[in-house]
Amino acid sequence: MPYSATFNDHIENPRNAGELPDADAVGEETNPVCGDRLRLSLRLNDGRIEAVGFLAYGCAPTLACGSVLTELLKGKTVEEALRLTRKDVVDGVGGLPSRKQHAAALAIETLRSVLNSGGS
């Protein structure tokens, strides 16, 4: 399965790359199998996600999924964000081969870790 134009665009032009210096919540998760890491930082305002930043270390799908996740999060409430699924991220990048869907799972795991812990 070749990667979609949307996927390639997120690789070439990642959205919201970098960590927010004034984040309200920050967290990082690692895939124990492949070693990919995703770090997510969020700024909240009135219960909504106002700004998002990410750092990705690993394969191209991890970068693309981190980028897409930031776009999916902006403007959502914490409750809405917690309802996002791996499928939402996979759909957001225009599909992923099954062997690369671990990247979407890592994005959702990182998001839930950050939101459930309040960041670190």
Query: Ramachandran region of residue 34, left (φ > 0), alpha (ψ -120 to 50) or beta?
Result: alpha
Q: What is the pLDDT of residue 118?
A: 60
Entry pTM: 0.93
Beta bridge partners of 52: 42
Q: How many domains does the chain have?
A: 1
pLDDT of 116: 86
What per-residue confidence (pLDDT) applies to 1?
63
Q: Residue 21's pLDDT is what?
A: 92
Residue stretches of the chain with pLDDT short of 70: 1, 118-120
Residues 12-37: pLDDT tens digits?
A: 999 999 999 999 999 999 998 889 99
DSSP bridge pairs for 37? 30, 57
CATH number at residue 111: 3.90.1010.10
Indicate left, alpha or beta for 40 from its phi (over 0: left) and psi (-120 to 50: alpha): beta
Q: Residue 104: give the domain boundaries.
A: 5-117
* Cα–Cα distance list, 73 to 3, 32, 50, 66, 104 (Å): 23, 25, 9, 11, 14
- C-beta separation of 49 from 69 below 8 A: no
